[in-house]
Amino acid sequence: MNHPSHEQMTADLLRPLQRTSWRFYLLVAFLGSIVLMGLCTWAYQMYNGFGVSGINNPVYWAFYITNFVFWIGISHAGTLISAILRLVNAGWRRPVTRCAEVITAFALMIGAMFPIIHLGRPWLFFWLMPYPNQRLLWPNFRSPLVWDFFAISTYLTGSVLFLFLPMIPDFALIRDRAPKGLRRRIYGALALGWRGTTKQWHRLESAMQIMAVAIIPVAVSVHTIVSFDFSMAPVPMWHSTMFGPYFVAGAIFSGIAGLIIAMAALRRFLHLEAYLHPVHFENLGKLLLMMSLLWAYFVFAERLTTWFGNDTAEMNVFYVTQRGSFSPLYWTMVVCNFVVPFTILALKKLRTIGGCVIASFGVCVGMWLERFLIVVPSLSHKYLPYAWGHYRPRPVEIMITIATFAAMTLLYTLFSKFVPIIAIWELKAGDHPSPELSAAGQHEHRLGETHA
């Protein structure tokens, strides 16, 4: 199979923008109605009071905070992976970067909703921000929740910029091909006057380089600060020094899984077989395998030190997850996050597109459970046994959780309808691996050889 010609690339990648089937409208209507139901459920919760959810004393945080950590984790797919692949100049990144960066932007938006949804009085969420007010009140800068606000808003701004910059030449391409009218005006505005001059290309490349370097520490700091929400509180099994790296590793782990699922869906539904090759899935699958091992190492280190330390309060939480009422969830997590992905991804024969997707679904389930098992068992088994409790989700929380997955799919579907999901100019600018190529690693890059 030959590489698609440049003209073919443009035609293939712009096709979803130009032709819309009835299936698209059906999907949008379906997802949109679930999202709408989620919003109505939230309104119902606000109107009736937080009591309609399942939280109680002592489990004051549960599904909403789990979703918050999970979605912020998924957001680490995109920007971080794409920035690293750009910096090491991995040739196979070209068709992958944009669909990864979009995940970041949308997952962050969804994740950032949860600190607001979970508030007792969500209409006062702006009290978390420092804003000029008559009584000269400031937020409490010692609170990790205020750090969250700054971390997430920085990351969201950065990753939207990081997503937008390489879209500019593609917007210009659409503008130039669009007939006169609304579409031409909108894409013209988005293209910011792009003419493709040498100076513009040079500035775009420098800006991308700066953003790629800047976004990595921001991404790492975001999930570290999310982990501080837990590790700063003297709660058994929360008050841990390893939560920062543990959370970041888990975030990248679930992020890669989310990316693989998104890429497989794009490949199938937008017919991008000529652009997203098995080698992309194989490379990301290897990365997922490595993160699975890293995750298992972190869990092992956390569990072993807790067990060896034998602190009374921590051991209560330890046992309630390991072999108590939370143990079915705990062992499901271990199977989904380690046993399944390790078995599939370590065997070359199983590391196919289908195999990678199955492993990724496992990881998404497992990582959601991991966040849940960090939040709830610690809260339900704090120091005084008299105050121990239990948690069971109520329909309100389940509905809002389902709605977030629908919202992610909906936003992604709409985005791929309005913007080419693979960066056309980046694909043209570099060689992308041919489908015959089984793995990038098999082609040795010799010293002194210039990279494509």
Site residues (vs other proteins, CB under 8 A): 48-51, 55-61, 115, 118-122, 124-125, 127-128, 137-140, 142-146, 149, 229, 232-235, 379, 382-387, 389-390
Q: Whole-number minimum distance, CB 176 to other proteins, in Å?
A: 48
Q: Which amino acid would we find at residue 451?
A: H
By beta-carbon proximity to other proteins, the closer residue of 21 and 310 is 310
Q: Whole-number minimum distance, CB 117 to other proteins, in Å?
A: 11
Give yes or no for a cis peptide into 435 (omega within 30° of 0).
Answer: no
Q: Whole-number minimum distance, CB 311 to other proteins, in Å?
A: 10
Q: Whole-number minimum distance, CB 165 to other proteins, in Å?
A: 33
By beta-carbon proximity to other proteins, the closer residue of 140 and 198 is 140
Q: What are the CA-CA distances from residue 434 to residues 1, 42, 92 (Å)?
A: 8, 48, 10
By beta-carbon proximity to other proteins, the closer residue of 234 and 441 is 234
Give the list of residues 6+ apart from residue 19 with CB closer than 8 angstroms, or none: none
Q: Whole-number minimum distance, CB 149 to other proteins, in Å?
A: 8
By beta-carbon proximity to other proteins, the closer residue of 282 and 397 is 397
By beta-carbon proximity to other proteins, the closer residue of 19 and 121 is 121
Q: Whole-number minimum distance, CB 123 to other proteins, in Å?
A: 9
* Distance in Å from the first CA to the final CA of the chain: 20
Kindly report the CA angle at 322 between 75 and 232, in degrees rounded to 5?
Answer: 50
- Ramachandran area for residue 123 (φ above 0: left; ψ -120 to 50: alpha; else beta): alpha
Q: Whole-number minimum distance, CB 170 to other proteins, in Å?
A: 40
b/e per residue, 401-424, with b = 16+ CB within 10 A?
bebbbbbbbbbbbebbeebbbbbb
By beta-carbon proximity to other proteins, the closer residue of 48 and 157 is 48
Q: Which of 261, 266, 248 is nearest to 360 (CA)?
A: 261
By beta-carbon proximity to other proteins, the closer residue of 94 and 371 is 371
CA atoms within 13 A on the CB side of 269: 17
DSSP line for 115-155: HHHT-SSGGGGGGGS----TT-----TTSHHHHHHHHHHHH
Query: Are the C-beta atoms of residues 254 and 411 closer than 8 Å to each other?
Result: no
By beta-carbon proximity to other proteins, the closer residue of 49 and 193 is 49
Query: Are the C-beta atoms of residues 412 and 102 closer than 8 Å to each other?
Result: yes
Q: Whole-number minimum distance, CB 112 to other proteins, in Å?
A: 14
